[in-house]
Structures are given as structure tokens and as C-alpha cells.
Structure 1
Amino acid sequence: MNINQIEKQVDTKQQEVQFSGTVYAKLGEQEFLKSYGLANRSEEIKNTGDTRYGIASGSKPITAAAVCLLVEQGKLSFDSKLQDYLAEEFPNFDKGITIHHLLTHTSGIPDYFDEDVMDDFEELWVKHPMYLIRELKDFLPLFQNEQMKSKPGSEFHYNNAGYIVLGLVIEKVSDMAFSEFVQTYIFDKLGMRNSGYFELDALPKNCAIGYLEKPDGGYRTNVYSLPAKSASDGGVFVTVGDMMSFWEGLIAGKLFNQELVSVYLTPHATIDKDDDFYYGYGHYIEANEKGINRQILMGYDPGVNFRAVFYPESGLRVIVCSNLSDGAYDMITEVQSVLK
């Protein structure tokens, strides 16, 4: 890894896109870590390698790992029916929906933020104030009485509500709050000391505030753009180092056995076969007849942008967290262009 070359190109790209966040690349024993921009614009606090960022749907791989933990414990199976675990009423849900369907976005259930219908996440909070969304059950009025979109297993359709439902299943089966279960069985186990499911109006120290650009070129925070507390479908706060610990610990079998690790990393749902693009459990996969090229994690919310790529053959791992709405893709693409 040519650190100087990476830094030069990443610095140039940062200036071009005005990236705010942290870039972390690892190849063998070599590492590149650099932060840009401000975690708190009002107080002029800089982003650092220890800054905790929200990662939006980059949280879904963590929820999927929590499900695998319960499968290993014998408390759940991927073929388990949703209707056998939850007491909440879902009057229009198909009785054949399984945990596997929910993990792979093939359940066909209605989403609370349907990108086919909506393009502005903030529209959600007109009728359902975001400051009231603090527990998983608070999301239910947004989707539980809606009609199915498709038959379970018939097609891939990205679905946040499915991961809310998975979080509720985890709570039911473990008899623990979702965030408590993840903290105990994933974060504590892997030494992810700076990660957590926090409330946006009560953030602990070292958390980057998410910012959205205003029409006049200034910025506003995302406190009115997202649910008050991060949930099982997104919004967990991590450092880049903690996220690296999560992935390395997972593939090393520190969370669950290697058989389940293999299932976790397997392409399960086809997104675009022509582009070799698939979905595993909680994350995207680029694969072809030769095998898996890379595992891809991503997340986007207003004021949040996250990308991570892991190449199983070369061992290259890159994580980019941003506290703006874009920029992570540009930065991770630049690093890959140098190293892959």
C-alpha cells in the first residue's frame, strides 16, 4: 500500500467533493486513516479517527448478525415464520413470510419509506413526528396495516420495515431490548466500545452531527430529519475502527460458527444479474461464476453517508463514514482505484 499515493489522491478528491468524514483503508498490516471536515460546525470540532458517525442502513449487517446469533443459539431459524413470533397485528401480511425473506428484502411487506413512492425521507414526519419514534414499536403505525407489495420470495425490493420487524423478533426471542441485545452480544464481545444506538437529542461525546446543505449554501443539522433514536433498520453510531472490528470479528467466527458465517456471506437474492449484483444478509455482494469479488455495506440518511467494501481475495478493506448526505461513494471509489 503506497500511503503517500493514497493520501494525495484522497486529498484531491476531498477538495473536489468537499467531503466531511473519515476514510479508513486496511491491506494486510498496512493502514491508511484520515479525517476531514467538522463533526460539530457550531463549535468547530474536527472529525477524527475516534469520531462516532451514524451509518444509516449500514446498521442492517449488525441486525442480520444478531439474527444469526439467535439461530446458533437454537432460538430461531431462517425458515421460521414471522407469524409464529410476534403478537403485533399485521392484518394484511402473508402468513408465509420467513426470517430469511425479511433478511433478504424478499418478504414483499410494505415499507414505511417506499422509494417507488417517496423521494424525501423528511416527508415521513409530517404525520408521525420524529421525536416520538424512540422504540421499535413506534414504527409500526407507519406500515403495519398496509397491503403487501408482492408475494414472499418472489422479488427483491429494498425494505426498511422488514428490518424493523426483525428487530421486534430479536426482542421477542431474546427477551431483551434490541439495542441491549446488540450491545451485549456484539459490541461488547468484539470490543466495539464506541458504538451504540443513541438518541439524536441526547448524543454522547465524540458523535458527529449530521448536516444537510441549505439552498443558500449554509448547513442545518439532521435532528428533524430522522427518528429520535437509531433502530434495527438503521442509524447506529460507530467509529471506523469499530466497524472494522465488526467485520473482522464476524468473518473470523467470533460471533457465530463458520457455517453460519458462510450463510451470512452468501448471495441470497438477485438484484441485477447482468451487473453481478446480489444481496446477502444485511449487505450487498458483487459476485460471478468465479466467486465473490467484494462484500459491500452502504447507508444513506439525510446528513449521513456510509460506504464499506471488503475484498475476500486480496484482503483489502475500506470504510468511509461521512456526516454529510453524500461524498462517501466518491471517496471509497478513489481508494479502490488505487488499491484494488
Structure 2
Amino acid sequence: MEDGLDVVARDTGFSGVVRVDRDGQVFAKAYGLAHRGYGIANTVDTRFAIASGCKGFTALTVVSLMEQGLLTLSTTAREVLGEDLPLIDAAVTVEHLLAHRSGIGDYFDEDVVTDLSAYVLPVPVQCLLDIEQYLPVLDGYPQKFPPGERFSYCNSGFVVLALIAERVSGVPFHDLVRQRVCEPAGLVDTDFLRSDSLGERTAVGYLQVDGEWRTNVFHLPIRGGGDGGIYTTAADVTALWRALFAGRIVSPDRVAEMVRPRSDVPAESMRYGLGFWLHETGGAVILIGGDAGVSFKSVHVPESGTTHTVIANTSEGAWPLVRFLGV
């Protein structure tokens, strides 16, 4: 496997980490540069952004609040939002939002935004540091269809979930994720970092603009939110899967509810539960993220404990290796 990975990585200019956990054995290898300007190489313990892979963390945070009795699946967004975001249908529930079946309008509609090199945020990126600062960005998008009617992937829905979690708990969302997901799972290298202050052992995201490699610092919120932007390592991703299915983050019954298919998504050859993608026929559970300077996929099979993770600090870099691994 390693020789084949090396060939694909060389031929595609892969920059990132590949990790495979299988039968008690770990294979992990790093390629490319964490910082192109200073020639700093990626290592197996480099931290990377995982874009929408963050949605699993948001979902687990919300479900942990359910276990505390602060929310239920049937809690409506309106109960918590009050008069904010008035275009969200009064019938939209937490379950609709977790399952991408809310029908709310999306500030970052991936059916519309297809060019990852474009500068698409409607406000300066430094204005998106805390979750409440997303309110003006989320506002003004009409409901697309009645809640529950069908699946439609929605980034806004997970920012709204972060708002809901923050308001019902009284704890800032980023702290909530750390307390309710990272700490019980033992994720020592996972956190929401500022893009202008990443710190050591963290990969800068790159994309090609006008024929040259540029960082993604002007493309994404300065600090991630409910829909994306957490930083982690390949080892911490494995630890997340293990903690999830060991019931250390939320109870096994809640985990089973989260990985129960709510929607078939033929366009993606997958299904969707609550915050997690699911294999179209088998038992694998999946996290995926892609954005300007970020690409990530991790596939975990609970029955065997096998995990494949590919994580890259370029927009498309992970996908050739994902295809090579067949996950």
C-alpha cells in the first residue's frame, strides 16, 4: 500500500497525512509542506483544518445538550432564536437541522458556490470570530421548502445549531465543543484556531489563484463555526471515532440514533444521519470536508474498528488518495 500511496502522492503533489487503523495496526505517513514560504514539512502530528468534518463535532455537542435535558430533537429553532432570523420557518426543529432537512436558506449554498478560489463571504472574514457575529450573514435567505420535505445540504443549518447550543447552555460554542466533545474523547490537538494565529505544528491551507499558491486566510472565517473550521490531527480523528462508539461522548443509544439513516443521497452515493454521512448500503460512518485550502475524509467501520483518514491542506489534494484507498 505504501508504495502505491507514494506514487499517487508524488504524481498529484499531495500535501497532507494519510492514516489507516486496521486490526490493531497503524499506518501513518505525511507528505508535502505545512508552510510553503518557510519550507516546513507536514508531519503525522500536524494539525489541519477539516472544513465540514466539523459538523460531526457540532452534532455531538447538540446531542450532549439533549442528554442534559436542555434540548430535544423536537425543540424548534424559533423557541431559542426568538425574533432573530425571522425567515426560518416556525416548524423547523433541531432534528431537521441536524439531518439537513430543514429547508432553510443557506448563506453558503454549495449547489451555487462551486469555485473554491472565489472570495464568497459577504462580510470581511475578521468579522466572523464568534457565533453571534454570524447573525447578519445568516439573515435574509428565504425558506426553500417546508421543513422535513427532503434532504438539502445546508451550512447555515449547522451555524444555527451552534447558535442554539450556545444560547441554551450559556457557554460560548467553541468552549462547548472543547468541553463536551474534545475533552471526553481525549482530543489533545483539536480546537478552533484563528487563521491569523495558527500556532506551531499547524498546516496553512493553500489554493491556486491566478496560477500561484496562496493561503486561504482571506477565503474563510477567521475562526470556524458550527458548519466548519475546527483543526485536528489524523490521530485525533481516530480517537474521536473510538470515543464515539465507546459511548464516551454521548450514550450508545444516542450514537445509534445519530447514525440511523434519515435520508438517501444518491447524488453523493451515500446516506445521511444526524451530523454524519453514512455508507450507501454498509455500516461505515463518514466525515467529509472540503473548502478553500482544505480537503478531508475519514471513514470508520464500527464493526471492525477500521478507520481510513486522508487530510490535506489544499482544496482538492485529498481526493486522489481517497480514491486510491477505495474509501
TM-score relative to the length of structure 2? 0.95
* 125, 132, 135: which one aligns with 2:127: 132
One-letter amino acid of the counterpart of residue 271, structure 2 = Y
**1:295 offset after TM fit, Å?**
1.4
**Backbone CA RMSD of aligned residues:** 1.6
Structure 2 SS opposite 1:85: helix
Secondary structure (helix, strand or coil) at the match of 1:124 reads coil
Pair 1:104–1:59, CA change in 2 (3 A): same
Structure 1 residues 93 and 270, CA gap change in structure 2 (3 angstroms) = same
**How big is the shift at 1:130?**
1.1
Distance in 1, Cα, partners of 2:269 & 2:218: 37
Q: Tell me, yes or no, if structure 1 residue 226 matches structure 2 residue 216.
A: no
Superposition pairs for residues 1-340 of structure 1, below 5 Å?
6-120=1-115, 122-125=118-121, 127-216=122-211, 218-272=212-266, 277-288=270-281, 292-336=282-326
Please list every run of at least 4 consecutive aligned residues from structure 1 whose deviation after the TM superposition is greater than 6 angstroms. none
Q: How many residues align?
A: 326
Identity %: 35
C-alpha distance in structure 1 between counterparts of 2:196 and 2:232, whole Å: 17
How many Å apart are 1:152 and its aligned residue?
0.3
| 1:152 aligned partner, one-letter code | P
TM-score, normalised via structure 1 length: 0.92
Match of 2:2, as an amino acid? Answer: E
Describe the superposition over 1:113-154 as per-residue Cα deviations: whole angstroms up to 9, x where unpaired. Answer: 1133333354423x4111211111222222322210111001
Q: What secondary structure is seen at the aligned counterpart in 2 of 1:15? A: helix
Shift of 1:287: 3.6
* Superposed CA offset, 1:276-329 (max 9, x none): 6211111211143xxx34212100110000011112343321111100111212
1:183 and 1:312 map into 2 onto residues whose CA distance is: 24
Task: Name which of structure 1's ranges 36-45 and 113-122 shifts more when overlaid on structure 2.
Answer: 113-122
Q: Give 1:64 deviation, angstroms.
A: 0.5
Corresponding letter in the other structure for 1:305: S
Gaps in structure 1 of 5+ consecutive residues: 1-5
Note if contact 1:67-1:170 (Cα within 8 Å) is conserved in structure 2: yes
Q: Per the alignment, in what secondary structure is the counterpart of residue 120 of structure 2?
A: helix
Contact 1:308–1:332 (Cα < 8 Å) also in 2: no
